[in-house]
């Protein structure tokens, strides 16, 4: 297979010291070089998936499209510059920046230009591409949206020689609004070109490769080739550490985190690590705490934050320190460093709090120990409350610790969550209607429905509901119809599509820009009452607000000795049923993994004893005073739906992870409510949900009428049919 590559690629690989192609590269090469079929490449992290796609694609460009795809002429080098375009789509800018450097190694010697294309890149590179559209374009979905919207009429010229679309980190798009947006963009692009374009998806963590294939080519997933390799066996050193949070009036919630920070300061100074706390606020806590420890000890600061709200310069500084710094450094980060970015040799990963998904943990562990012979290190920290008399039954089961153990065991068993599909995504559909109107300079309702729903990715939307959606958009002045029945932008729609925030499928959080001495630090959502003199913690430092302009949402900061942690929106990723079932099996069994420290082992034994004492092997409920706890061990979408059904019966119910907690009630009332739910047909979402109950709105949900809003929300957050069936089973078991 190696000899089939273009000569410049062969030379480049030889100079890089490659001993041969890896398994995924060998399997993918003929599929991509000899056919135009769609391909999903599923291989372990650091298994060379990028090269598996690009080595044959770049060879195709080198050979030229005038040659038949199965003819390979490698005897002479062509003097003409290779034509053709390869479009690479990635979920984050940092991954694009990293892949630009990676691809330059091959493309420079082939005279194939490489163009990074996102919000941080200036116009000069784009003008060069428009003047001579050839080479590799690395782009985010948002920038691709902008390209289709602004240059729709020119797409046939710009992408006249488009050879393939490569979607990296495919799993990051499946089952969310950006994924639906990307599906629509690729469909619209092919419609403009009047031809099908080869699609290649790359991922290390696909729980269901069939669903991934269907996502890549909706309606034709069975025709997508799947290249799946296990990769080389890796050595992993792992330990789960439990930190007890004393339960006294003099303690604060951060005290256990201070204990962890002190331990990390001592442990991490000898090598590069990635530390993953839960959310931006805790990233800032640890970055600030570790920076202060360095300064107090008179040592160089070797701990840096990395998250999406930091300015590009701040993120790149952390990446550069990891990759080329003279001292071992560690990044305190969110999912921004979960992707396959080259950040040098990472010894280990620290996870603080239980991972929500197995796939996420796999991505994170995959960042460490990537060099031959290295051992990947995982330190998992869990915080457990010291129990006092009167603690409830949930606390005594140490759910955070048990979930961490469950996720690790499933990771070791090589199981990952399949994506949840079936969301209606009306919010994203509204955006795509507005974008399509701009791309085509007007389109009929029938044409829009045919493009986006009948042949596009919104196949679950009926014609009746599409018309209702257009009427709602017209009522909000987003669209209008002219005399020729063409949909055009209304006055408000025109204003919104011309704002830079339009191209993202997720909401604009109205964040304030933070700067110090003219240098941009990043953005944060701040309250309207924030004022001069307030203190915040950001970019791993403490600041005081020196000036604030609420109209421009601009904040000037100066260094301070105090700072409050930022409060940022965001909800946890839903936990899969398999994870909850694994948690139950751990509690029901007597095994204690050897990779738990002494405290964690002791707590897990206590939790197992409590599980037996509560008789949860047979029982599904525990009653404590006026509170009923339902232990269903189901996924969050099912438990959220059951809680919603119980609320519709007048109960005070809440999904609290491993339980549904029903307050101020009795077991008889709960049983009666479950019986009423089971005796009635499964209700439509609009009958049991109020808009005020829904916390996580999508970007354009404010446009939707109630029936579409509730249907869209339920399709992405609730498993109502499954929940209703489970309620029938629960009521039957209570009467048996």
Q: pTM, whole model, 2 decimals?
A: 0.88
Give the pLDDT of residue 565. 82
DSSP collapsed to 3 states, 273-306:
EEEECCHHHHHHHHHHHHHHHHHHCCCCCCEEEE
**Are residues 84 and 163 in contact, defined by beta-carbon separation less than 8 angstroms?**
yes
pLDDT surpassing 80 at residue 251 = no
- How many C-beta neighbours within 10 Å does residue 567 have? 13
pLDDT surpassing 50 at residue 340 = yes
As assigned by CATH, the class of the 426-503 domain is: mainly alpha
Q: Residue 595: which pLDDT band, with cuts at 50, 70 and 90?
A: very high
Lookup result for tokens 């409830």? 392
Contacts of 288-295 spanning 24+ positions with Cβ under 8 A: 288/537, 288/540, 288/541, 288/542, 288/563, 289/257, 289/258, 289/261, 290/261, 290/264, 290/265, 290/330, 290/332, 290/540, 291/540, 291/541, 293/261, 293/262, 293/265, 294/265
pLDDT surpassing 80 at residue 22 = yes
Give the pLDDT of residue 507. 79
Supply the DSSP symbol for 269: G
Give the least confident one: 260-269, 305-314, 367-376, 571-580: 367-376
pLDDT in tens, 188-210: 999 999 999 999 999 887 878 89
Give the pLDDT of residue 241. 96
pLDDT surpassing 90 at residue 94 = no
Report the pLDDT averaged over residues 540-556.
90
The helix/strand/coil state of 597 is: coil
Q: For residues 467 and 465, what is the distance between their CA atoms, to the nearest angstrom?
A: 5
Give the pLDDT of residue 245. 82
Give the least confident one: 114-123, 130-139, 641-650: 114-123
Report the pLDDT averaged over residues 575-603.
95
Higher pLDDT, 219 or 71: 219
- What does pLDDT average to over the chain? 88
Domain ranges of the chain: 2-228, 235-412, 426-503, 512-559, 619-735
Q: For residues 234 and 568, what is the distance between their CA atoms, to the nearest angstrom?
A: 36
Q: For residues 440 and 151, what is the distance between their CA atoms, to the nearest angstrom?
A: 10
- Residue among 167, 211, 164, 168 nearest 56 (CA): 164
Which residues share a beta bridge with 235?
A: 375
**Are residues 655 and 634 in contact, defined by beta-carbon separation less than 8 angstroms?**
no
pLDDT surpassing 60 at residue 65 = no
Give the pLDDT of residue 388. 67
pLDDT surpassing 80 at residue 325 = no
Q: Is 40 left (phi over 0), alpha (psi -120 to 50) or beta?
A: beta
With a CB cutoff of 8 Å and minimum separation 6, the contacts of 52 are 22, 24, 25, 27, 28, 29, 41, 43, 202, 227
Identify which of 183-192, 272-281, 337-346, 509-518 has the greatest average pLDDT.
183-192
- Residue among 662, 639, 647 nearest 692 (CA): 647
Report the pLDDT averaged over residues 231-254.
75
Torsions phi, psi for 226 (to 5 deg): -115, 120
Beta-sheet strands, E only, within 204-278 = 225-228, 235-245, 273-276
183-217: burial string, b at 16+ Cβ within 10 Å, e else: bbbbbbbbbbeeeebbbbbbbbbbbebebbbbbbb
- Residue among 58, 140, 170, 44 nearest 107 (CA): 58
Tell me which fold the domain 235-412 belongs to: Rossmann fold (3.40.50)
pLDDT surpassing 70 at residue 571 = no
Q: Residue 73: which pLDDT band, with cuts at 50, 70 and 90?
A: very low
Would the CATH topology of 2-228 be identical to that of 235-412? yes
Give the pLDDT of residue 279. 85
pLDDT surpassing 70 at residue 131 = yes
Q: Is 552 exposed, middle or buried (0-12, 13-18, 19+ CB in 10 A)?
A: exposed
Q: Residue 252: which pLDDT band, with cuts at 50, 70 and 90?
A: low
Query: Is 2-228 a domain of CATH 3.40.350.10?
Result: no
Q: For residues 181 and 232, what is the distance between their CA atoms, to the nearest angstrom?
A: 35
């Amino acid at each position: 297979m190696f000899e089939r590559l273009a000569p410049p690629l062969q030379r480049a690989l030889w100079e890089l010291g490659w001993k041969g192609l890896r398994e995924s590269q060998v399997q993918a090469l003929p599929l991509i070089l000899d056919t135009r079929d769609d391909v999903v490449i599923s291989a372990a992290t650091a298994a060379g998936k990028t090269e598996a796609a690009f080595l044959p694609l770049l060879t195709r460009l080198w050979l030229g499209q005038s040659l038949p795809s199965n003819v390979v002429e490698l005897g002479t080098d062509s003097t003409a510059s290779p034509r053709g375009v390869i479009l690479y789509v990635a979920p984050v800018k940092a991954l694009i920046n990293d892949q630009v450097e990676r691809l330059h190694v091959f493309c420079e010697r082939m005279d194939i230009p490489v163009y990074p294309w996102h919000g941080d890149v200036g116009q000069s590179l784009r003008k060069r591409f428009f003047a001579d559209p050839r080479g590799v374009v690395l782009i985010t979905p948002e920038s691709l949206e902008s390209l289709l919207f602004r240059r729709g009429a020119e797409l046939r010229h710009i992408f006249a020689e488009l050879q393939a679309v490569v979607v990296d980190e495919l799993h990051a798009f499946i089952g969310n609004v950006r994924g639906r947006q990307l599906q629509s963009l690729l469909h619209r692009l092919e419609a403009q070109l009047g031809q099908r374009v080869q699609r290649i998806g790359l991922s290390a963590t696909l729980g269901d490769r069939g669903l991934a294939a269907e996502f890549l080519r909706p309606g034709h997933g069975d025709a997508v080739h799947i290249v799946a390799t296990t990769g080389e066996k890796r050595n992993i050193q792992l330990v789960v550490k439990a930190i007890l949070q004393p339960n006294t009036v003099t303690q604060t919630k951060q005290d256990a985190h201070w204990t962890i920070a002190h331990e990390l300061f001592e442990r991490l100074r000898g090598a590069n690590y990635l530390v993953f706390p839960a959310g931006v606020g805790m990233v800032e806590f640890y970055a600030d705490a570790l920076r202060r420890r360095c300064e107090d000890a008179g040592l160089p600061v070797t701990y840096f934050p990395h998250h999406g709200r930091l300015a590009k310069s701040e993120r790149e500084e952390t990446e550069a320190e990891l990759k080329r710094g003279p001292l071992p450094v560690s990044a305190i980060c969110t999912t921004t460093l979960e992707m396959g970015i080259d950040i040098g040799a990472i010894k280990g990963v620290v996870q603080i709090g239980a991972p929500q998904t197995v796939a996420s943990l796999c991505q994170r562990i995959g960042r460490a120990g990537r060099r031959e012979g290295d051992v990947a290190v995982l330190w998992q920290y869990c915080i457990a409350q010291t129990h006092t008399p009167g603690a409830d039954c949930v606390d005594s089961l140490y759910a955070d610790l048990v979930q961490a153990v469950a996720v690790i065991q499933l990771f070791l068993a090589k199981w990952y969550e399949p994506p949840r599909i079936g969301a209606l995504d009306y919010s994203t559909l509204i955006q795509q209607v507005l974008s399509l109107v701009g791309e085509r300079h007007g389109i009929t309702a029938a044409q829009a429905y045919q493009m986006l729903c009948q042949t596009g990715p919104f196949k679950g939307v009926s014609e009746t509901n599409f018309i209702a959606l257009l009427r709602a958009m017209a009522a909000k002045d987003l669209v209008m119809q002219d005399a020729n029945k063409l949909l055009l932008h209304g006055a408000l729609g025109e204003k919104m599509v011309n704002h830079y925030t339009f191209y993202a499928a997720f909401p604009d959080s109205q964040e304030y820009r933070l700067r110090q001495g003219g240098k941009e630090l990043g953005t944060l959502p701040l309250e309207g009452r924030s004022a001069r003199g307030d203190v915040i913690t950001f970019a791993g430092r403490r600041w005081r607000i020196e000036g604030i302009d609420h109209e421009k949402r601009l904040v000037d900061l100066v260094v301070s000795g105090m700072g409050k942690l930022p409060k940022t929106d965001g909800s946890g990723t839903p936990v899969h049923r398999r994870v909850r079932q694994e948690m139950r099996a751990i509690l029901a069994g007597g095994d204690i993994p050897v990779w738990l420290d002494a405290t964690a082992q002791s707590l897990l034994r206590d939790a197992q004893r409590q599980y037996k004492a509560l008789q949860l092997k047979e029982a599904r409920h525990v009653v404590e005073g006026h509170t009923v706890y339902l232990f269903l061990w189901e996924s969050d979408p099912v438990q959220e739906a059951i809680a919603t059904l119980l609320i519709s019966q007048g109960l005070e119910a809440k999904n609290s992870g491993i339980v549904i907690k029903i307050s101020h009630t009795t077991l008889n009332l709960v049983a009666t409510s479950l019986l009423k739910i089971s005796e009635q047909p499964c209700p439509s979402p609009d009958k049991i949900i109020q808009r005020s109950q829904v916390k996580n709105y999508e970007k354009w949900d404010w446009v939707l009428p109630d029936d579409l809003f509730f249907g869209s929300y339920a399709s992405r957050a609730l498993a109502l049919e499954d929940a209703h069936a489970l309620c029938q089973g629960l009521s039957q078991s209570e009467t048996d």
